[in-house]
C-alpha cells in the first residue's frame, strides 16, 4: 500500500508562495492542494499561472474552493473552476460548503446532496473529482449530517469526501476512525491537521490521537491523496518538514 502525500497551507504573500511552491517536492511531497488566494489571480488566464510557476509535478493536484451552490452564479463559478483546473492538470476540487450549520435543517442537507451529485458528474466530464470538505459550522458538521447527506448519493463516484481530522474533532466528533471506516467508499482525500485548546496545531503537537486514524486509513485500503493541511501559523519550512515526517512515520512509510 502506498499513499500520495500533499501539502496545503495559506500564504501571506509572494515570499511565502515562492517558499511553498519551490519547496514541496524537495521536502518529499507529490502535490500541493492550493488555497483560494494562491490560484484565483490566474482564473481568467491559466497560462499566466503556468508561466509564473511552470509545470512541476503535482503543483495543483487539488484546488480548494467554496460557496453555496444555491444559485446559478455559485454553480457557474464552480463550472468555471473546472475548466481552469483541467488546464492545470488538477485531479480534485475540494469544496467547502459555505453555509452556516445553524441555518439549515436535515431536509436541506439531503437536498444539497442532489446538487453536489449533479455537479460532481459534471466534474467527471473534465477529468476531475469533486470532493466535499466537511467543516465546523457548515452543513456536514455533526455525525448524523454525514449519514443524511451520503445516504442520498446514488453514484458514489460522483461525490467524494475530504476527511479533515481537526474539523471533525472541533465539531465534537471524537471517533475520527469510525467516520473513516463508515464512509470509506466516498473518501478520496484527507486533510490531516492537529487540534488543541481551540486552535489548529502542527501535526503531532496537538491533542488528537492519530494512531487509530492511521490504522483506519490502512484498514480501508486507501491509496489516494493524504494532505497535511497546515494552518497552525508556523513557518512554511517547519510545516513542510514536520508534517511529512509525521505522516510517513504514522502510516508506516
Helix residue ranges, H only, 28-151: 36-39, 46-53, 72-88, 106-125, 143-150
* 170 Cβ contact list (under 8 Å, min separation 6): 136, 195
Encode pLDDT of 230-241 as tens digits: 999 999 999 999
Radius of gyration (C-alpha) of the chain in whole angstroms: 17
The 10 Å Cβ neighbour count of residue 12 is 9
Q: Which residues contact 87 (CB under 8 A, 6 or more apart)?
A: 46, 47
Q: What is the pLDDT of residue 2?
A: 79
pLDDT tens-digit series, residues 122-149: 999 999 999 999 999 999 999 999 999 9
CATH of domain 4-250: 3.20.20.150
Residue 70 confidence class, pLDDT cut points 50, 70, 90:
very high
What Å distances lie between residue 239 and 86, 92, 120, 228, CA to CA? 28, 22, 31, 9
The residues spanned by each domain of the chain are 4-250
**For residues 169, 174, 175 and 179, what is the CA-based torsion angle, rounded to 10 degrees?**
-40
pLDDT the model gives residue 103: 86
pLDDT bracket for residue 76 (50, 70, 90): very high
H helices of 3-71, in order, are 14-27, 36-39, 46-53
Q: Render pLDDT for 28-63 as a digit per residue (tens, 0 to 9).
A: 999 999 999 999 999 999 999 999 999 999 999 999
Check residue 1 and give its pLDDT: 56
Question: Which secondary-structure segment (H or E) carries 236?
Answer: helix 236-250
Amino acid at each position: 500500500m502506498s499513499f500520495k502525500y500533499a501539502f496545503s497551507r495559506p500564504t501571506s504573500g509572494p515570499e511565502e508562495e515562492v517558499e511553498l511552491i519551490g519547496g514541496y517536492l524537495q521536502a518529499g511531497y507529490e502535490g500541493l492542494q492550493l488555497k483560494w488566494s494562491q490560484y484565483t489571480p490566474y482564473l481568467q488566464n491559466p497560462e499566466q499561472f503556468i508561466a509564473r510557476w511552470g509545470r512541476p509535478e503535482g503543483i495543483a493536484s487539488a484546488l480548494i474552493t467554496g460557496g453555496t451552490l444555491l444559485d446559478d452564479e455559485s454553480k457557474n463559478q464552480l463550472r468555471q473552476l473546472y475548466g481552469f483546473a483541467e488546464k492545470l492538470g488538477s485531479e480534485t476540487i475540494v469544496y467547502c460548503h459555505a453555509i452556516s450549520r445553524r441555518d439549515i435543517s436535515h431536509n436541506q442537507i439531503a437536498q444539497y446532496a442532489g446538487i453536489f451529485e449533479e455537479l460532481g458528474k459534471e466534474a467527471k466530464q473534465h477529468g476531475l473529482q469533486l470532493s466535499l470538505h466537511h467543516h465546523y459550522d457548515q452543513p456536514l458538521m455533526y455525525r448524523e449530517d454525514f449519514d443524511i447527506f451520503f445516504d442520498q448519493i446514488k453514484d458514489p463516484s460522483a461525490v467524494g469526501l475530504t476527511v479533515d481530522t481537526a474539523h471533525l474533532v472541533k465539531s465534537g466528533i471524537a471517533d475520527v476512525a469510525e467516520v473513516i471506516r463508515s464512509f470509506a467508499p466516498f473518501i478520496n482525500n484527507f486533510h490531516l491537521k492537529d487540534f488543541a485548546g481551540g486552535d489548529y496545531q502542527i501535526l503531532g503537537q496537538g491533542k488528537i490521537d492519530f494512531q487509530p486514524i492511521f490504522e483506519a486509513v490502512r484498514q480501508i485500503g486507501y491509496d489516494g491523496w493524504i494532505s497535511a493541511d497546515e494552518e497552525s501559523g508556523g513557518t512554511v519550512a517547519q510545516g513542510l518538514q514536520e508534517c511529512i515526517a509525521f505522516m510517513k512515520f504514522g502510516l508506516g512509510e
